[in-house]
Amino acid sequence: MSFSALWGSLLPVGLDDGTGGYRRFSWTLADAACRSWFIEEAAVRSLRTYTDRNGNLWGWWESEGTDGAAGARGAIVTGSHLDSVPDGGAYDGPLGIVSAFAAIDMLREQGCRPARPVAVAAFTEEEGARFGVACLGSRLLTGLTDPAKAQALTDRGGKTLAAAMAAAGYDPAGIGPDESLLAGIDAYVELHIEQGRALADLGAAVGLASGIWPHGRWRLTFTGRADHAGTTRLADRHDPMLPAAAVVLAAREAAAEHGGLATVGRLTAEPGGANAICSRVTAWLDARAPDEPRLQAVVDQVLAAAGAAAAAHAVDLDFRQESVTPAVEFDATLRDRLAGALAARGISAPVLATGAGHDAGVLSARVPAAMLFVRNPSGVSHSPAEHAEEADCLAGVAALAAVLEDLACR
Ligand code: GLV
Ligand code: MN
Ligand code: MN
């Protein structure tokens, strides 16, 4: 099947016609449709599918003499994720999975016989859009997130991860680290759309990742007192919206001061009446920086501003870390090997750092990992406007195939 047919077969899944964005949240019907698509495409290619205890999907291209499942040895894994942010773009995640299937098609056409197991993986809840913790599937797999805490995570409607998994027909009791699966992986290579304009500026269709900025999410909950908007004197108010507003501005200021990025992209006001002072406002801070001291400086500065504003408006503040990923420096030996395989085919791939989080970053704590980026002409991502040209996607498939051939074929 051609890349464009394969790409087109996934496009309608989870698309919101009103916004033109994707709503592929884990353990929902859209997620189930994505999973069915993956299993079907794996079956078409005679890849053996396997769902691990954390709900991550694996499609194994078995080499002779292995059983190609958990317990395999020396495997090369490629993949990404199928879930999206609210009203996300089509490429963030799915491009890595579609490219992985397409690269396997290409290698087969070229007569490649794998000397070791190769797998396509789709990690669950990479965006943390439903349960708040980014890269939840890979974090659970590698033991970075406590399974009991994960089971108790709740979505916007108050449903726990455990209940959502059970409702989707999966057993939440088994989530947690999977040492035998990890022990069988020699390398993980994730292809992803670039979420910036570096490749466009450099005139390159594909790139390689050097590392990922440290980043994380923090939840600030301001609790005040609901009251009448038309009668409560300013001096008598305990309005949680005011310190929340201060946090939005403090995030911007702190990021500018320390050379990082900080965003409040999710804010909920309860109960949300237009003619009432809120009782509670929850703000989610996403902060990133080139190094950990600067990230800490951003977060400390925002927290100090939040505390001062909460006190000034007689409002309570609860501050909670949701997930933090330390700085990632990808395995230099693996990256050099990828660069060599690409150079041998005349592909020049600039090396870039990114502020975006990825399962490859989480997995890199346990297995050598690398990333290939595909040019994004506008740099826009986490938006329906996210786009990559088909020619660049095809260049990405060719690059991934070259890398897999070098790592896994005889
Ligand atoms: C994932 O896309 C992230 O960086 O938040
Ligand atoms: Mn994303
Ligand atoms: Mn992604």
User: pLDDT (tens digit, 9 = 90+) per residue, 319-374?
Assistant: 999 999 999 999 999 999 999 999 999 999 999 999 999 999 999 999 999 999 99
User: To the nearest 10°, the Cα dihedral for 70, 72, 78, 79?
Assistant: -10
Mean pLDDT throughout 171-187?
Answer: 97
For residue 222, pLDDT over 60 is answered with yes
Residue type, 123: F
* Mutation test residue for ligand 1: of 24, 127, 354, the one with most atoms within 8 Å of CB: 127
Give CA–CA dist 115/398, Å, rounded. Answer: 20
Task: Please provide residue 43's backbone torsions phi and psi, each rounded to the nearest 5 degrees.
Answer: -65, -40
Mean pLDDT throughout 182-193?
Answer: 97
Q: Supply the pLDDT for residue 76.
A: 97
Is ligand 1 within 6 A of the CB of residue 357? yes
* Mutation test residue for ligand 1: of 382, 383, 386, the one with most atoms within 8 Å of CB: 382
Nearest atom in ligand 1 to the alpha carbon of residue 382 is 2
**What's the gap in Å between 98 CA and the centre of ligand 3?**
13
Categorize the per-residue pLDDT at 62 as very low, low, confident or very high, splitting at 50, 70 and 90.
confident
Is ligand 1 within 6 A of the CB of residue 356? yes
Alpha helices per DSSP H over 313-409: 332-344, 359-363, 390-408
Q: Angle of helix 94-109 relative to helix 29-44, nearest 10 degrees?
A: 10
Nearest atom in ligand 1 to the alpha carbon of residue 356 is 4
Per-residue pLDDT tens digits for 223-234: 999 999 999 999
Question: Tokens standing for 288?
Answer: 């990133």
For residue 66, pLDDT over 70 is answered with no
Q: Supply the pLDDT for residue 368.
A: 98
Do residues 99 and 90 lie in contact, with contact meaning Cβ atoms separated by under 8 Å? no
Is ligand 1 within 6 A of the CB of residue 94? no
**What's the gap in Å between 81 CA and the centre of ligand 2?**
9
Cis before 271? omega within 30: yes
Of the candidates 156, 104, 105, the one whose C-alpha atom is nearest the C-alpha of residue 131 is 156
Question: Tokens standing for 88?
Answer: 């996300």
For residue 2, pLDDT over 50 is answered with yes
Categorize the per-residue pLDDT at 296 as very low, low, confident or very high, splitting at 50, 70 and 90.
very high
CB atoms within 10 A of CB 273: 12
Q: Supply the pLDDT for residue 65.
A: 52
Of the candidates 323, 249, 261, 258, the one whose C-alpha atom is nearest the C-alpha of residue 287 is 261
Q: Supply the pLDDT for residue 46.
A: 96
Q: Supply the pLDDT for residue 410.
A: 77
Mean pLDDT throughout 304-332?
Answer: 97
For residue 121, pLDDT over 80 is answered with yes
Is ligand 1 within 6 A of the CB of residue 88? no
From residue 12, how far is each of 42, 44, 85, 144, 168 by CA, in Å?
Answer: 19, 19, 16, 33, 21
For residue 246, pLDDT over 70 is answered with yes
Q: Supply the pLDDT for residue 71.
A: 52
Q: What is the mean pLDDT of the chain?
A: 96
For residue 70, pLDDT over 80 is answered with no
Mean pLDDT throughout 8-15?
Answer: 98
Give CA–CA dist 168/177, Å, rounded. Answer: 21
Categorize the per-residue pLDDT at 64 as very low, low, confident or very high, splitting at 50, 70 and 90.
low
Of the candidates 219, 240, 197, the one whose C-alpha atom is nearest the C-alpha of residue 302 is 219
For residue 123, pLDDT over 70 is answered with yes
